[in-house]
Structure 1
Amino acid sequence: MVYLFMQASVKDFDKWQRVLIDFMPILKRMGSTNTSVYQEIGSPNNVTVIHEFTSKVKAEAFVNSNELHDSRKEAEVIGTPKIWYTEML
């Protein structure tokens, strides 16, 4: 299993979360098997999202997709998220 971490700041967490909820069917279609969301304590507009994929190829395709880039704009993500890939040992 590959874990895709995305850390970002958002203008408004509630709006961002609504966009994420609407985006979930597309995320699943693109191969994500699970998603979890975390807020920074004391800074609720700083979020970290972990998406699980069966391969790095699928995770990278998701990161580079037009759908994701369009949803970031709609969700008012500030700047470019920090992204990294891991796998459980």
Structure 2
Amino acid sequence: MTYVLVRHKVKDFNKWEPYFDEHGVVRQATGSKGGKVFRNAENPNEVFILLRWDNLQNAKKFSQLEDLKEVMMKAGVIDKPDVYFVEETEEVEF
């Protein structure tokens, strides 16, 4: 399974979150299978997003959408995101 791991800072998490949620329609239409949002326990305006994708090509295509950049600006993203395309190799449970 292909994942995209993103880290970025936002002005205000509570303002950012509805933009992220609304943009889910675009993510789904381009191959996202869902994911999880985390935030730094010591800085709630630092966001980590882990999204599942149907394939690497669609994940990369989504990351280059002009619409994504516009939504991020409106949502209050204040730094250049760190974006990693990763593949799951193992799940560990205890």
TM-score by length of 1: 0.96
Matching of residues 31-42 of structure 1 within 5 Å: 31-42=31-42
Distance 1:18 1:9 in 2: 15
Aligned-pair CA distance for 1:7 = 0.1
The 4+ residue runs of structure 1 with deviation greater than 2 A are none
- SS, match of residue 78 in structure 1: coil
Matching of residues 20-35 of structure 1 within 5 Å: 20-35=20-35
Q: Which runs of 5+ in 2 are unaligned?
A: 90-94
Q: State the partner residue of 1:49.
A: 49
Aligned residue pairs total 89
1:15-73 CA distance string (max 9 Å, x none): 10010111111111111001210010110000100111111100100100112111101
Q: Which runs of 5+ in 1 are unaligned?
A: none
Percent same amino acid among aligned pairs? 25
Distance 2:30 2:70 in 1: 15
- Which of 1 and 2 has greater Rg? 2
Aligned-residue RMSD, C-alpha: 0.7
Q: State the partner residue of 2:13.
A: 13
Distance 2:26 2:58 in 1: 13
TM-score by length of 2: 0.91
